[in-house]
Amino acid sequence: MKKVLASIGIGNATVDTVLPSDTVRPGETVDAEVHITGGTVEQDIGTVRFELETRYRTDEGYREVDIKQYTLAEGLTIEADEEETRSVSLDIPYSTPVTLGNADVWIETELDIKRAVDPEDKDYLNVRPEPRLQAVFDALDELGFSLHSAECEADPHSYFTSNRRFIQEFEFRPTSGEFSGALDELEVIPRPSADSLELFVEVDRRGGILSELGDLDERTVQTTIRTTDVAKVRNDLETLIRNNA
């Protein structure tokens, strides 16, 4: 009877992933501990699996997607009431979205138990910008732009990326400085890597009705950020925006 109950999740083994901090940055490696506690009967665990996940907006609604998958162990047997702790290192990919606006990122830990409900543990992460992207945010702040929204969106035609199905877009609006009154908004799509940060910047100029109906007031340009020097980034972005405003 205990085996039958465990197969539907009653008296099943449980899993809990403990992170030293829920705050991470893309490019970092996070050390974690995985606590597995046996249920009322012995159970064979096929795989201890991790999935780094997020969600993005499509025309049909939101869709969840794996950013990266990890495997800790395979062929593990957990006895009734047994407690086991294992250490794991998780690399946070540069493609991990920053958790601003509507963006959520979490780690889901699963025990793959045959003929049973798989136990799961979900841990939400606070993903901060990697250093070059933080320099971009700081530079735009100095130029008088304020973050208005952040959203992960589908990129079905791989216009901005070739190795994933979505992008993260940040929308800034000028609230002071040179570009206040001249621009409606600035949309920024980052593509970070270990060595550089590619930026797609859409400059939405403030135009008349005809230009806005035809999207003639928008211009998308691409640039590469290779430094974390905010003053240098500010000067580069200021020139780019001015030349396309």
pLDDT of residue 117: 56
> For 51-75, what is the mean pLDDT?
90
pLDDT of residue 107: 94
- Has residue 101 got a pLDDT over 60? yes
pLDDT of residue 162: 63
Is 202 in contact with 219 (CB distance < 8 Å)? yes
| Mean pLDDT score of the chain | 85
Q: What is the model's pTM? A: 0.85
175 Cβ contact list (under 8 Å, min separation 6): 144, 145, 146
- Has residue 172 got a pLDDT over 90? yes
Give percent of the chain above pLDDT 90: 56
User: Angle, to 10 degrees, between the axis of helix 230-244 and the axis of helix 131-142?
Assistant: 60
> For 110-125, what is the mean pLDDT?
76
Residue matched to tokens 């000028």: 174
> For 68-97, what is the mean pLDDT?
87
pLDDT of residue 195: 94
CATH code of domain 2-127: 2.60.40.640
Amino acid identity of 148?
H
- Domain spans of the chain? 2-127, 131-244
pLDDT of residue 46: 78
pLDDT of residue 114: 67
pLDDT of residue 115: 54
Residue matched to tokens 């290192």: 89
CA distance 31 to 19: 7
- Has residue 136 got a pLDDT over 70? yes
Question: pLDDT tens across 195-230, in order?
Answer: 999 999 999 876 433 334 444 457 889 999 999 999
